[in-house]
Amino acid sequence: MIAGTTKVFCVIGDPIEHSLSPAMHNAAFRHLGLDAVFVAFRVDRKNLEHAVKGIRSLGIAGVNVTMPHKTAIISYLDELNKEAEFVGAVNTVLNAEGKLVGFNTDGIGAVRALKESGLTLKGKKIVLIGAGGAGKAIAFQLAQEACELRILNRDGEKAKQLAAKLERKFNTKILGNSLSQATLKECIKDADVLINATSVGMQPNHNQTPVDRELLKPGLTVMDIVYNPVETRLIREAKSAGANVVYGTEMLIFQGAASFEIWWKTPAPVDVMRKALSDKLCRGGA
């Protein structure tokens, strides 16, 4: 029951109506009997600063941040954790007694989704396509996993710069190159894991795929972080080629679980969040 003591959490973005965060977090709050509620606010770009002032003045306990505010919100926060600072984007804010701290849980969510699928990352050859916000966050986490990382991006300079920055930071060898079917072929031939962190294949372009079907093979694990549609063309073709697959919804669940754990300092009920997400998707969310 909502009462005077109820803690308020929210997600801000524009558009926001199809956000899956309220379903996941409210299910988790209910399951653990937490006196809290999670709501969604559509915030126009020009109102972002006011919205952040509102978070402070209303004492909103925690916030998820989605498009288009992930980068713009930084200038209104008090502090960033190391992932958010490296990536230059925030998807989670903790209101620590009036101090607003920004986090980025996308990379943590992706790596946890891979590990929970049964993969050990140490020593694995991983091809990451995409060096946008999500790609950077994932690369930042993978660079700390003692795997062999190769980053490919349509704008090759972005991939090279990201690889060089990570090499300097973590003293590890990382390849960065432009994305083409030729560079993909070269990188995938002995790879263990392929991650799509581009938006290729996302609605309304669900007939597109960033990787030719003939490059997919048994023994390869393919993760597509696109979750709308849940079953992307890349995932469909990976399955038909005999590869193992990890869905974008798994990353979504684990990035949400990581936000929950930042806010509550207690393990998130991941299965409850997964069920809430799947129920919501069945009802036509996202």
**Active-site residue set:** 70
| Binding residue (CB under 6 A) for ligand NAP from 126, 193, 238, 252 | 252
Residue 225: CB atoms within 10 Å: 30
Measured distance CA(147)–CA(126) in Å, rounded: 7
- The SS3 assignment for 143 reads coil
| Cβ closest to ligand NAP, residue 62 vs residue 248 | 248
Report the distance separating Cα 64 and Cα 51, nearest Å.
13
116 forms part of the interface with ligand NAP (CB under 6 A)? no
Figure out which of the listed residues 139, 152, 200, 258 binds ligand NAP, where binding follows CB under 6 A.
200
Task: State which H helix or E strand residue 14 sits in.
Answer: none
Q: Is 209 in the site for ligand NAP (CB under 6 A)?
A: no
C-beta of 4 vs 204, nearer to ligand NAP:
204
107 binds ligand NAP (CB under 6 A): no
Helix (H) or strand (E) segment spanning residue 278: helix 270-282
CB of 228 to ligand NAP, least distance (A): 7
Asked whether position 269 contacts ligand NAP by CB under 6 A, the answer is no
Question: In this structure, what are the phi and psi dihedrals at residue 253, rounded to the nearest 5 degrees?
Answer: -65, -45
- How do beta strands 193-196 and 125-129 pair? parallel
Instruction: Give the bridge partners for 39, in sequence order.
Output: 10
> Does residue number 226 form part of the binding site for ligand NAP (CB under 6 A)?
yes
> In the bound complex, what is the minimum distance in angstroms from residue 188's beta carbon to ligand NAP?
16
Question: How many angstroms separate the first and last alpha carbons of the chain?
Answer: 27
Nearest approach, Cβ of residue 85 and ligand NAP (Å)? 17
Closest approach of ligand NAP to the CB of residue 178, in Å? 9
Candidate list 198, 209, 221, 259; residue touching ligand NAP; CB under 6 A: 198
25 binds ligand NAP (CB under 6 A): no
Closer by beta carbon to ligand NAP, 26 or else 255: 255
Q: How far apart are CA 84 and CA 68, in angstroms?
A: 16
Cα–Cα distance between 49 and 155 in angstroms, integer?
31
132 binds ligand NAP (CB under 6 A): yes
Number of residues engaging ligand NAP in binding (CB under 6 A): 26
Residue 223: which residues within 8 A CB-CB, separation 6 or more? 110, 113, 114, 193, 194, 195, 196, 245, 246, 247, 248, 250, 251
Closest-CA residue to 37 (of 7, 65, 5, 12): 7
* CB of residue 230 to ligand NAP, shortest distance in Å: 10
Candidate segments 24-32, 132-140, 211-219, 267-275, binder of ligand NAP by CB under 6 A: 132-140
Instruction: For residue 133, state whether it binds ligand NAP (rule: CB under 6 A).
Output: yes
Angstrom distance (rounded) from CA 70 to CA 68: 6
- Please tell me the distance from the alpha carbon of residue 11 to that of residue 38, in angstroms, as a whole number: 8
- Is residue 224 close enough to count as binding ligand NAP by CB under 6 A? no
Q: Does 268 bind ligand NAP (CB under 6 A)?
A: no
Positions touching ligand NAP (CB under 6 A) are: 106, 109, 130-135, 153-155, 158, 179, 197-200, 202, 210, 225-227, 248, 251-252, 255
